[in-house]
Amino acid sequence: MKRETFSSGLAVFFATLGSAVGLGNIWKFPYLTGQYGGGAFLAVYFLCILFVGLPIMVSEFYIGRKTRKNAVGALEELKPGTSWKYIGIMGALSSYLIMFFYSCVAGWVYFYLFKAIKGDFAGITMANAQSQFGDVIMGPVSPIIWQFIVMGVVATILAMGVKDGIEKITKTLMPLLFVLIIICDIRALTLPGAGEGINFLLQVDFSKLTAAAVLTALGLAFFKLSLGMGTMITYGSYFTADNNLFGTAAKVALSDTLVSLLAGIAIFPTVFSFGLEPSAGPGLLFMTIPLVFSQIPFGNVLLVAFFFLTSIAATTAMLSLVEVPLAYFTEERGVARPKAAIINAAVIAIIGILATLSVDKSSLLGSYTFLGRGFFDWFDYISSNVLLPVGGLLIAIFIGYRVKKEDLKRELSNHGRLHIDSILNVYYFILRYVTPALLLIVFLNSVGILKF
């Protein structure tokens, strides 16, 4: 069977952006920025995107498009019979871990969409917003049902294929998401006291910065740009032959960061205007957005549109997460695509129940913690803060020290058709020296070997 590719440069851009933009921007970015003190965290996050995220993204694109294979097969082809393929296997493992909690949060988003359609948020107050969120996550049965619905949607789109599934959905809906967040921003910025929220985002106070905040910013950069776990290798394998890989990486990273900032601008003015705590944690999105649109004409219609688009963003990101093991099973193990889609989705939905039930701290599962974290938090912590950065470090070492510079130049210049000499030199230097050094320092510090 002929291997599929995306059909144009625009399709490549929207599909890749569809992977990057997701709950990471709308849910995780605002609440982490809130917990770690605003502007200073943001500044470190930008540096991580520039010096770690971008070079690794280009490297993953290179591995994928050069070999046109899934993450495991691609590394095996570049260095046959070596252990480098374990980067791909570790990637598939990270994909499952992320999906266990991601599908849970996506379930809350779908549930919120349903509640918005029913009109449950009409005339909502702050106390009401908090109690509705509590009811949604504590179910205990309804969040599990929504998690299963989410995985049903993901499996269906994936079974349709790369072009008819992933490409079609992302190309239509990503532009809409931008428009909607901007409408949200305009409303949030016109709330009384909005300026305080913007100050919180822009005031850089490095004295608030801790080592944990730096590690979190780094983990968030990986999570945001879908790096360190083979997603961009897999998507890169579907890129067109004439795509400018540097250009795509820059455009995706920039647009993705813009969406995160726009989400922050929608959320923080509301937090301050209604007297919520910026450090409220994972519920921040769910408690603020219904308030943004309360008491304005057409507020409920906008709320429905907002949660619809957040559902889309979450869904397109999940397509890319599940595509990593899916491409492996179809190409390396000969499993038919629809069958692989259904089995993977079912396994994720079933194990994901652990994450969903662990959120209710008064339940049996929720009160069970290991070293201070429950299932949900462990899945999140191990993937974002450990596996993705380790995967990224290995990719940087692989490309920086195991692949010849001429080979890189040939593929990244599309066999000499693009003039990339100066950008290639900058990229190569950063990838060999700066990226691994930064990753190592943050790591050694986080495990307590290096103290500063």
Q: Which positions touch ligand PFF (CB under 6 A)?
A: 19-20, 22-25, 98, 223-224, 226, 229, 231, 317, 320-321
Residue with tokens 């269906």: 156
Phi first, then psi, for residue 370 (nearest 5°) are: -125, 120
The CA–CA distances, whole Å, from 189 to 31, 160, 198, 313 equal 18, 41, 9, 23
Nearer to ligand PFF, 71 or 116 (CB): 71
CB of 208 closer than 8 Å to CB of 290: no
CB of 337 to ligand PFF, least distance (A): 19
- Tokens for 282, please give them: 């994972």
Alpha-carbon distance values, 308 to 31, 54, 317, 350 (Å)? 20, 30, 14, 25
What residue is closest to ligand PFF based on CB? Answer: 24
CB neighbourhood size of 439 (10 A): 24
Nearer to ligand PFF, 71 or 124 (CB): 71
CB of 253 to ligand PFF, least distance (A): 11
Tell me how far, at minimum, the Cβ of 72 lies from ligand PFF, in Å.
15
Comparing CB distances to ligand PFF, the nearer of 223 and 272 is 223
Q: Please, which residue, 197 or 230, has the CB nearer to ligand PFF?
A: 230
Task: Tell whether omega for the bond before 140 is within 30 degrees of 0, i.e. cis.
Answer: yes
| Shortest distance (Å) from residue 176 CB to ligand PFF | 17
Residue 373: how many other CB atoms lie within 10 Å? 14
Minimal distance, residue 125 CB to ligand PFF, in Å: 30
The residue (of 229 and 280) whose beta carbon lies closer to ligand PFF is: 229
**Closest separation in Å from C-beta 98 to ligand PFF:** 6
Residue 194 or 340: the one with the smaller Cβ distance to ligand PFF is: 340
Alpha helical stretches, state H, 333-404: 337-358, 375-380, 388-397
Of the pair 104, 229, the CB lying nearest ligand PFF is at 229
Please identify, using beta-carbon distances, which residue of 347 and 423 lies nearer to ligand PFF: 347
The whole-angstrom separation of Cα 239 and Cα 195 is: 42
Least separation in angstroms between residue 87's CB and ligand PFF is 13
CB of 195 to ligand PFF, least distance (A): 28
Contact 31/280 with Cβ under 8 angstroms?
yes
* CA-CA-CA-CA dihedral for 31, 34, 35, 39, to nearest 10: 130
Q: State in angstroms the smallest separation of the CB of 95 from ligand PFF.
A: 6
Cα→Cα distances 372→210, 340, 375, Å:
19, 35, 10
Contact call for residues 252 and 20 (beta carbons, < 8 A): yes
> Which residue, 23 or 78, is less far from ligand PFF as judged by CB?
23
Contact yes or no for 25/224 (Cβ under 8 A): yes
Residues 6+ apart with CB under 8 A from 140: 357, 360, 363
Of 24 and 139, nearer to ligand PFF (C-beta) is 24
Q: How far is the CB of 12 from ligand PFF (least distance, A)?
A: 16
Other Cβ atoms less than 10 A from the Cβ of 12: the count is 26
